[in-house]
Amino acid sequence: MMGGLGGYLIYIALLMIIPIWAQSKVKNTYKKYAKKATSSQMTGAEVARKILNDNGIFDVQVRETKGFLSDHYDPRKKTVNLSRDNFHGQSMASSAIAAHEVGHAIQDAQDYAFLRFRHALVPLANTGSNFSFFLILIGIFFQMSEMLLLGIIFMSAAVLFQLVTLPVEFDASNRAMAQLVSTGIIRNNEERETKKVLNAAAMTYVAAAMVAVAELIRFIMIYAASNE
């Protein structure tokens, strides 16, 4: 009994620690390379605009947004949104993040299949995130296996979204690296440092996917046990 409880507590601890570790890694890596300027001395906004122009994308605007590491690409408004530090910054971190978000804009312009699939999953994933735990808790508390199964199905949609996000993010980072090198925004001796920023950011998505899959497997096991 104690062994089972101990294993469960370790499992819960890992689910909590993994995303915290990933967030800490990306913040520490960002802060380190936010202090190192690129040889081109271009701001994040200039990097984003140059890569967009070089790829013939003129209908996407580059905007400054509030928050720390709140950078994102909005496909509905066709905007690359960069946090203040990255919009004005001339660092390796600013260039890497700006190029990554433009990578999403390039995906959008080229109708990248995984990005299109992820956009299609958004309504289903939101529904799954909002209702899955509620249905699962009802199913477990009232021992209603049908309700538990319904919650698992809803959760599966949210997990699928997390998994599809991985190739989208990795591809955007690969595009970012290629564009930064080909345009001369970074030079050979800066590639390694820039990759570290991109890799650290990618780890947050990997961690989120790992936690989501682990949670789904746990509830599937509970459902299977309830039907024995």
- Enzyme catalytic residues: 101
| Burial (Cβ within 10 Å: 0-12, 13-18, ≥19) of residue 9 | exposed
Quote the CA–CA distance of 192 and 11 in Å, as a whole number.
Answer: 34
Q: Which amino acid is present at 98?
A: A
As beta bridge partners, residue 79 has 61, 74
Nearest to 80 by CA among 89, 90, 70: 70
Task: Give CA separation, 30 vs 35, 62, 112, 135, in Å.
Answer: 9, 21, 28, 39
**Ramachandran area for residue 78 (φ above 0: left; ψ -120 to 50: alpha; else beta):** left
Tell me the torsion sign for CA atoms 59, 167, 46, 183.
negative
Please state, in angstroms and rounded to a whole number, the distance separating the CA atoms of residues 46 and 183. 12
Paired with 74 in beta bridges are: 79
